[in-house]
Amino acid sequence: MNISEKADQGSLRFRYIKLCIFFSGLSVFAQLYLFQPMLPMAAEYFKVSVGDTSLLVSSSTIGMAIGLLFFAFKADSYSRKALMTFSLISSALLTIMSTWVPSLSLLIAIGVFKGFVVSGVSAVALAYLTEEVHTAVIGSAISMYLSGNTIGGMSGRIMATLLAGEFGWRNAVLLIGIESLILGLIFWKLFPRSKFFAPQKTDYHLKVKQMKFFLTNPYMFRLYCIAALLMGAFVSVYNYLTFRLEAQPFSLSHFVIAFIFLMYIFGVFGTMLAGRLSKRFRMNDILKGSILFMVIGALFLLTENICILIFGLGLFTLSFFAAHTMASQMTALYAKRGKSSATSIYWLFYYFGSSILGTGSGYLLHAYSWNIFIAVLMCSVVIALLLATGNVSTQEKSY
């Protein structure tokens, strides 16, 4: 098929792709982190510790990581649209079901399963975009997808906090599940089928060879580790910031804390800014600059002044999403073949970082202090910066 038939700026197909890929990110991340702002409520309801309730968030990201490992092998066996539609609708149904789950352990188990199911979207979304969208507008399409992730994460957290405060946390989960189901149905009706990809029988030998290449390639392995370290630090901050703001010297109410998650708007700006800058500067330079600003943002989180803390959180958030946009785009573009394997491994590291550091840092905060907690997260970000500094240009021989 002629490459000129790829979706380009202004075409109806491109508009549908951007709209639906945005909705997919919106649905996935609204569900994935909906428990994050409700962790204090869950800790009180189930009478457990901070670290234990963080498993409500980590369970979904662990499920995501397991699912991405599975789909690294199997994603190419399914239609891109069919897999993403199944993931969106089934995950929404699981979120709705979790409204009536009586125990924390069962809720965590459903979270693992939901994460596994929804990983089908992350496993192929970037591959679909690089296959179906014209090269000139790939950056715009990827930015739209990541903006959906960002706004989904923000709206899910804000809605969860406000709805839980008004109607109880279970009803908040129900309403977000219904919203996600509606988004999944819209996706099913409007998302264009692939023109440049056809399902194929899995060649396990080839998949193992591809994955071995990506995992042993210094350029790709650094990107994967950067994704794990940055996401682990980012999700840790948002996991436990609620506890920090409820305590002295801030003593903020749930209603006020809900709007702290509006900081995710800066994530949208970060994604858009990275997309624009990538037309003028080397992607790895933008990645390094973004990580450096994450370190600076984290420093401001040590303050006891709420205005300075909010500024630092905004800078930290904007910089994280700019770095994530660059790292994920560099991963997708580097892999000339085996795109679904390359991007699945990226998300696998991304969510393992979220799960391991996101939960482990909760126990660290419980045992020590907020300052120690932030200092450890800053070390993770600095390591990511060193890895980015050691990375080579995107002109290195690709696979």
Give me the pLDDT at residue 203, please.
78
| Mean pLDDT of all residues in 139-161 | 80
Is 396 contained in some domain? no
**Average confidence (pLDDT) over 198-227:** 88
Say what the pLDDT of residue 175 is. Answer: 93
Output the CA angle 69-341-135, nearest 5 degrees: 140
Per-residue model confidence as pLDDT tens digits over 335-394: 877 777 888 889 889 888 888 898 888 888 888 889 999 999 999 999 999 999 976 544
Q: What is the largest CA-CA distance in the chain?
A: 63
Q: Is residue 329 part of a domain?
A: yes
What average pLDDT does the structure give for the chain? 86
Asked, for residue 397, whether it belongs to a domain, the answer is no
Q: Is the pLDDT of residue 397 over 70?
A: no
**Per-residue pLDDT, 396:** 43
HSE at residue 185, side-chain half, CA atoms within 13 A, is: 7
Please count the CA atoms within 13 angstroms of the CA of 201 that sit on its side-chain side: 2
The stretch 114-119 carries a mean pLDDT of 93
Give the closest residue to 344 by CA, choosing from 119, 23, 32: 119
Q: pLDDT category, 3, cuts 50, 70, 90?
A: low
pLDDT winner (highest mean) among 123-137, 249-263, 309-323, 342-356: 309-323
261 occurs within a structural domain: yes
In a domain, 259, yes or no: yes
Residue 398 within any structural domain of the chain: no
Whole-angstrom distance, CA of residue 376 vs CA of residue 240: 14
Helix (H, G, I), strand (E, B) or coil at 368: coil
Residue 355, amino acid: S
Q: What is the pLDDT of residue 393?
A: 46
pLDDT exceeds cutoff 90 at 399: no
Question: How far is residue 156's CA from residue 30's CA, in Å, rounded to a whole number?
Answer: 4
CATH number at residue 43: 1.20.1250.20
399 within some domain: no
Q: What is the pLDDT of residues 253-302, one digit of tens each?
A: 877 887 887 888 888 889 888 878 887 889 899 999 999 999 999 999 99
What's the rounded mean pLDDT across residues 304-313?
94
Q: Which domain, by its residues, includes 276?
A: 3-389
Q: What is the pLDDT of residue 280?
A: 86
At CA 338, angle to CA 333 and CA 339, rounded to 5? 40
Position 379 in a domain: yes
Please report which residue ranges of the chain form alpha helices under DSSP H: 12-32, 39-46, 50-53, 55-74, 80-97, 104-132, 138-167, 169-190, 204-216, 218-246, 254-258, 264-277, 283-300, 306-334, 339-367, 370-389
> By mean pLDDT, which of 44-53, 201-210, 269-278, 320-329 is the weakest?
44-53
Residue closest to 213 by CA, chosen among 318, 295, 335, 351: 335
pLDDT at 1 over 70: no
pLDDT (tens digit per residue) in 69-110: 888 788 888 999 999 999 999 999 999 999 888 888 999 999
| More confident: 127 or 397 | 127
Q: How many domains does the chain have?
A: 1
For residues 76 and 116, the model is more confident at 116
